Amino acid sequence: MEISVTMNGTARTADVEPRMLLAHVIREEFGLTGTHVGCDTTSCGACTVLLDGSPVKSCTMFGVQADGHEVTTVEGLAGADGLHPVQVAFQEEHGLQCGYCTPGMMLVGAALLERNPDPTDDDIRWAISGNICRCTGYMNIVKAIQTAAKAKAAAPAAATA
Amino acid sequence: MATEAHEDQAEIRGIGHSVKRKEDARFIRGKGNYIDDIHLPGMLYMAILRSPFAHAKLNGIDASRAQAVPGVVAVVTGELMAQHNLAWMPTMSGDTQAVLVTDKVRFQGQEVAAVIAEDPYVAKDAVELIDVDYDALDVVVSPQQALASDAPVIRDEKDGQTDNHIYHWESGDADATDRAFADADRVVSLDTFYPRSHPAPLETCGCIADVDGATGQATIYMTSQAPHAIRTVFALVAGLPEENIRIVSPDLGGGFGNKVPVYPGYVVATAASLLLGRPVKWIEDRSENLISTGFARDFHMHGELALKNDGTMLGLRTSLLADEGAFHADAQPSKFKVGLFHVVTGSYDMSAAHVVADGYYTNKAPGGVAYRCSFRVTEASYLIERLVQNAAYELGMDPADLRKKNFIRKDQFPYETPTGFVYDSGDYHGAMDLALEKIGYAELREEQERKRAEGKLWGIGLASFTEAVGAGPHKDYDILGLKMNDGAELRIHPTGKGILKISSKTQGQGHETTFAQIVAEEIGIQPEDIKVQHGDTDNTPYGLGTYASRSTPTVGAATAMVSRRVIEKARKIAAHLLEVAEEDVEFTRPTFSVRGAPDKAVTIQDVAFAAYTNFPDGMESGLEAAYYYDPPNLTFPFGTYAVAVEVDRETGVWQVTRMVAVDDCGVRINPMIVEGQIHGGLTEGYGIAAMEQITFDETGNCIGSNFIDYLLPTAVETPRFELGETVTPSPHHPIGAKGVGESATVGSPAAYVNAVIDALWPLGVRNIDMPLTSAKVWEAIEAAKAPA
């Protein structure tokens, strides 16, 4: 069946089988391979995308359920003015190693900062608790999201400078 | 041409600089290129049917319903594979493994048949329509069952195999050890089971086989930590000419040892592509990854430590039972049957040790047996560090004091262990002292006394590990006869930028950055100007790959040495440019200058340009070299980890309140990356200590076949780590580095467990086998409470 999705700000349509998972629609139909599949059971969060701004695990949604919604993937994180502060901070703080969990982690981090611009260590750890990282031990992911929070807070001042 | 040496020249960001990672640029944009991201024209998709039984005779397969599904192109069975002599393949340990079953299944999840279809969903649909006729057989799920005289013989297809025994292996000196034990005042023993765990990289295994029927060229994109070794194995298995095989290992979403072996899925996909003339993609799902690919450990250990009453260690005796699963598929040096377990004397000076090990077949998945460790070094470190703590308590000594009394002293290196390792360098007291200072050990012990008086269960655990990594010297280290040496090629382009091609393969360790830093250190070209290529066998030098913490010890060394070769030639060109004799040229990277006339100088970039534009008569043009490194010895990273825990008496829940890790991995190339490696290893070590386990019920059903049953640490329960470092360079490594990727997984499980046992010791708890789930801890507390 035909679905219409606002994919990273652009209206897209696709003709998909009703059973096709959103993760596969994103990867196969829209060709956006930054969304990864890690576990098939909603456990690891590698497939996390934002649906209308909130994190969802795209391996546990059908593509048709995204019909009429806005989907943001890692490819949509950067804006016209460059990388999202979370992306910059992940590189700066060594918040990634193999990179497989990174898109999901960054999207959860970005969504967290939208609703909580000054999260504590615990706030961040609970926010990313549905996302598994096997490489980093989370230390630098937490640090990266904190650094991104500071960068975001400083951004308006920088923009006027 | 000659330029003045600039004093304001940018600092070369070589060794010791926390250079931000080059690879991150693609990963943070979602532009990584993992196996499932690769799409080839005309590609087909493969799905595998796996056995629901752990041990069952195969009577027949009826694939007619599957074949009738629209979109199904082929169904591959063992019978078809046998027609091409591909029903069995060699393992990394010189055993054989079924590719697709022909006679009987030997573990749950074993590959029975494969469907090739135009669409991945259709392939999975069709797998469910294959009808298989099995007769269930009796099942063996432990080595204790396997060695029983009436146990069913799992590998009855092997000539002369009349039981389930695979190998008997010994190391050390039995008589000397007996004598040491005869002199002992006290023998402390421990029986412990290091359970089966799984590396579980976040990306599963997979491949795309693309065999061109016209040219015979086989390009196989594969999640492989060891692409060159795999190419050779493929040449041997499939009888394909090796020059026609190209293995491309793309970005890997983690590996941790899981992506070293050859898996049946790779072979079936390649055979299918050969037969069908189209590319075939196979991507495991998570359950397939956990139930069929390289597990780790599954090791039953008995250890005895002989001591004097004053705490002097005299000798160590261990006997071991290895559960190898249905096929002996360990990816480890062929000479050593339980890997490098014989490093079990650890950080301690003792005169004798004896290791006895036996391996058995069971009806369980076969494994590479490593999970972020150098060939069973983890099991060895765990056993000795658990034994030492128990010994300290039995002697009435503080565990830190007992360790310090017996540590190999700094002035004893190089130190030969009773099992034949020659430790290169160490300062065990230094690492221990720093760890104790950082955690505030004395104060913590005092606080523990107060907490105990209040009835609280507080524990402090230590582990002082020594690893043996960087395999290895060709004399002792090979896999399937392939010597464990590795290569690097460095080519400097005319504009002073370069490309380094290496035989190792990153899975997240940051090779594209750190190896460029080694070149920068040696020749003075900034790391961002050196592209690092790896993973493609057509475009990189031969080598055995990345696992067992061997990349820095082997390829890191090759990189330093190839850089020095390039400088040798560069010096000749510099002499030509400076119009002096070669011996009058001094090199202080990045500048070649005339001895005694430092103003007369050229940079490495000037020399690179001249190598293609203005080189002396009789010299070959270009500036490049290759180097294959044969390590003179292993390297021996070490450290002390200190953990404080609080255990809830009513629930058995334990929480890490402090975790201090002091590592000495020799010279640190990129401190930021080193610390990231340690964080990750401490977390996987915590997972192993606290929750990660694959078990089997009595009929061989795998429990732990998904991330709901196979638990991994999340950000919430993962401890907050405090790191410290000492630096004791390896004397034989060109840049003094030892490797660090696995230290923390090797050292930390014992530290966590020691802390929990320390908390429970006054109750009478002497051991709990990992993982220390809250239920097991609670049971131990309850059992200790019960009247004897």
The predicted model gives B224-246 an average pLDDT of 92
Domains of chain B, CATH where assigned: 24-32+486-629 (3.30.365.10), 35-137+204-251+259-292 (3.90.1170.50), 377-471+633-785 (3.30.365.10)
Question: Residue A63 domain-assigned?
Answer: yes
In this structure, is the dihedral angle defined by the CA atoms of residues B727, B729, B730 and B736, taken in order, positive or negative? Answer: positive
Cα–Cα distance, B8 to B726 (Å, whole number): 32
Whether A45 and A95 share a structural domain: no
Whether A97 and A137 share a structural domain: yes
- Residue among A17, A39, A98 whose CB faces B252 most closely: A98
The count of domains in chain A is 2
Q: Count of A–B CB contacts within 8 Å?
A: 167
What pLDDT is attached to residue B701?
A: 98
A78 secondary structure, DSSP code: S
Question: Residue A27 domain-assigned?
Answer: yes
Q: Tell me the nearest-neighbour CA distance from A41 into chain B, angstroms.
A: 7
The predicted model gives B728-735 an average pLDDT of 98
Q: Residues 86 to 115 of A: which have CB under 8 A from any B CB?
A: 87-88, 90-92, 94, 96-103, 106
Whether A48 and A97 share a structural domain: no
The predicted model gives B194-200 an average pLDDT of 97
Q: Which amino acid is at B305?
A: L
Residue B606's alpha-carbon distances to A31, A60, A103, B610, in angstroms, are: 44, 57, 42, 6
Measure the CA dihedral B89/B90/B92/B97, to 10°: 60
The predicted model gives B362-386 an average pLDDT of 95
Of the residues A26, A49, A76, the one at which a domain ends: A76
Contact by Cβ (8 Å): B487, B628: yes
pLDDT surpassing 70 at residue B2: no
Question: Residue A106 domain-assigned?
Answer: yes
A18 contacts chain B (CB < 8 A): no
Cα–Cα distance, A99 to A45 (Å, whole number): 13
The edge-to-edge listing of strands for the beta sheet with B591-594 is B585-588, B591-594, B597-603
Catalytic, B225? Answer: yes
B685 secondary structure, DSSP code: H
- Residue among A36, A75, A136 whose CB faces B679 most closely: A136
B680 contact residues in A (CB cutoff 8 A): 97, 134-137
Of the CA atoms within 13 Å of residue B606, those in its CB half-sphere come to: 22
- Residue length of chain A: 161
Q: Residues 6 or more apart from B287 whose CB is under 8 A from it?
A: A40, B705, B706
Of the residues A76, A106, A126, the one at which a domain ends: A76
Cα–Cα distance, B770 to B690 (Å, whole number): 7
Contact by Cβ (8 Å): B82, B131: no
Span B45-85, pLDDT tens digits: 999 999 999 999 999 999 999 999 999 999 999 999 999 99
CB contact under 8 A, A103 and B673: no
Catalytic residue among B205, B278, B324, B373: B373
- Distance in angstroms between the alpha carbons of the first and the last residue of chain A: 50
- Cis, peptide link before residue B250, omega less than 30° from 0: no
Reading the block at residue B269, the tokens are 């996909």
Whether A114 and A70 share a structural domain: no
Span B597-621, pLDDT tens digits: 999 999 999 999 999 999 999 999 9
Span B133-160, pLDDT tens digits: 999 999 999 999 999 999 999 999 999 9
What pLDDT is attached to residue B9?
A: 60
Catalytic, B526? Answer: no
Crossing angle for the helix pair B428-439 and B399-406, to the nearest 10 degrees = 160
3-state helix, strand, coil in chain B (%, to 5): 30, 25, 45
Question: Residue A57 domain-assigned?
Answer: yes
Cα–Cα distance, B336 to A14 (Å, whole number): 56
Q: Residues 6 or more apart from B40 whose CB is under 8 A from it?
A: B208, B210, B279, B281
Catalytic, B373? Answer: yes
Percent of the residues in chain A that have a pLDDT greater than 70, as a whole number: 96
Question: Residue A159 domain-assigned?
Answer: no
A79 secondary structure, DSSP code: B
Whether A61 and A112 share a structural domain: no
A34 contact residues in B (CB cutoff 8 A): 29-32
Whether A94 and A66 share a structural domain: no
Question: For residue B603, what are the β-bridge partners?
Answer: B591
A40 contact residues in B (CB cutoff 8 A): 285-287, 706
B546 contact residues in A (CB cutoff 8 A): none
Measure the CA dihedral A128/A131/A136/A140, to 10°: -20
Q: Give kind and range of the element (H or E) at residue B398.
A: none
Whether A46 and A96 share a structural domain: no
What pLDDT is attached to residue B535?
A: 98
Cα–Cα distance, B597 to B407 (Å, whole number): 51
B256 contact residues in A (CB cutoff 8 A): 134
- Residue B358 main-chain phi, psi, to 5 deg: -135, 135
Cα–Cα distance, A21 to A19 (Å, whole number): 6
A25 contact residues in B (CB cutoff 8 A): none
Residue B449's alpha-carbon distances to B388, B455, B766, in angstroms, are: 22, 10, 19
- Cis, peptide link before residue B631, omega less than 30° from 0: no
Question: Residue A161 domain-assigned?
Answer: no
Q: Which domain holds residue A49?
A: 2-76
Question: Residue A160 domain-assigned?
Answer: no
CB contact under 8 A, B32 and A91: no
CB contact under 8 A, A74 and B201: no
Whether A66 and A14 share a structural domain: yes
Residue with token string 């694939």: B63
CB contact under 8 A, B201 and A134: yes
**ipTM, two decimals:** 0.97
Catalytic residue among B372, B403, B589, B658: B372
Catalytic residue among B97, B108, B110, B225: B225
Cα–Cα distance, A93 to A140 (Å, whole number): 6
Whether A119 and A64 share a structural domain: no
Neighbours of B149 (CB within 10 A): 5
Cα–Cα distance, B508 to B570 (Å, whole number): 33
Q: What is the DSSP string of B541-577?
A: --B--S-TT-IIIIIIHHHHHHHHHHHHHHHHHHHHH
Whether A49 and A108 share a structural domain: no
Of the residues A76, A109, A131, the one at which a domain ends: A76
Contact by Cβ (8 Å): B489, B626: yes
CB contact under 8 A, B676 and A97: yes
B508 contact residues in A (CB cutoff 8 A): 96-99, 135
Q: Residues 1 to 30 of B: which have CB under 8 A from any A CB?
A: 20-21, 23-30
- Residue B334 main-chain phi, psi, to 5 deg: -65, -25
Span B516-564, pLDDT tens digits: 999 999 999 999 999 999 999 999 999 999 999 999 999 999 999 999 9
A38 contact residues in B (CB cutoff 8 A): 202-204, 253, 286
Span B415-436, pLDDT tens digits: 999 999 999 999 999 999 999 9
Cα–Cα distance, B192 to B309 (Å, whole number): 24
CATH value at residue A41? 3.10.20.30
pLDDT surpassing 60 at residue A159: no
Please state, rounded to an integer, the average pLDDT across all residues of chain B. Answer: 96
Residue with token string 């250890």: B303
pLDDT surpassing 80 at residue A156: no
Whether A16 and A33 share a structural domain: yes
CA nearest to B519, candidates B670, B636, B637, B666? B670
Q: What is the DSSP string of A7-20?
A: ETTEEEEEE--TT-
- Residue B687 main-chain phi, psi, to 5 deg: -60, -45
Q: Residues 663 to 682 of B: which have CB under 8 A from any A CB?
A: 672-673, 675-676, 679-682
Name the residue of chain B whose CA is nearest to A31's CA: B37
Cα–Cα distance, A158 to B522 (Å, whole number): 40
Catalytic, B372? Answer: yes
Span B243-278, pLDDT tens digits: 999 999 999 999 999 999 999 999 999 999 999 999
Residue B309's alpha-carbon distances to A31, B188, B305, B391, B397, in angstroms, are: 69, 11, 12, 10, 10
Q: Tell me the nearest-neighbour CA distance from B179 into chain A, angstroms.
A: 45
Question: For residue B318, what are the β-bridge partners?
Answer: B303, B355
Longest dimension (CA), chain B: 92
Residue with token string 């998570």: B286
Question: Residue A90 domain-assigned?
Answer: yes
Span B3-36, pLDDT tens digits: 444 444 689 999 999 999 999 999 999 999 999 9
Whether A13 and A44 share a structural domain: yes
Q: Residues 6 or more apart from B136 whose CB is under 8 A from it?
A: B53, B55, B56
Q: Tell me the nearest-neighbour CA distance from B636 into chain A, angstroms.
A: 23
The predicted model gives A50-64 an average pLDDT of 98
Reading the block at residue B416, the tokens are 């030969």
What pLDDT is attached to residue B3?
A: 45
Q: Residues 6 or more apart from B322 whose CB is under 8 A from it?
A: B143, B298, B299, B300, B338, B357, B358, B359, B360, B369
Q: Residues 6 or more apart from B373 whose CB is under 8 A from it?
A: B257, B296, B467, B548, B742, B745, B746
CA nearest to B245, candidates B281, B264, B273? B273
- Distance in angstroms between the alpha carbons of the first and the last residue of chain B: 89
CA nearest to B703, candidates B300, B141, B112, B106? B141
CATH value at residue A113? 1.10.150.120
CB contact under 8 A, B28 and A73: no
Reading the block at residue A13, the tokens are 């349509």
pLDDT surpassing 80 at residue B787: no
Q: Residues 27 to 86 of A: which have CB under 8 A from any B CB?
A: 27, 32-41, 43-44, 46, 73-75, 77-78, 83
pLDDT surpassing 90 at residue B380: yes
Residue with token string 């079953």: B101
Helix ranges, B357-440 (H): 377-395, 399-406, 428-439
Cα–Cα distance, B635 to B643 (Å, whole number): 26
Three-class secondary structure assignment of B716-752: CCCCCCEEEECCCCCCCCCCCECCCCCHHHHHHHHHH
CB contact under 8 A, B254 and A34: no
Catalytic residue among B385, B489, B512, B742: B742
Span B563-590, pLDDT tens digits: 999 999 999 999 999 999 999 999 999 9
Q: Give kind and range of the element (H or E) at residue B89.
A: strand B88-90
B277 CA to centre of own chain: 35
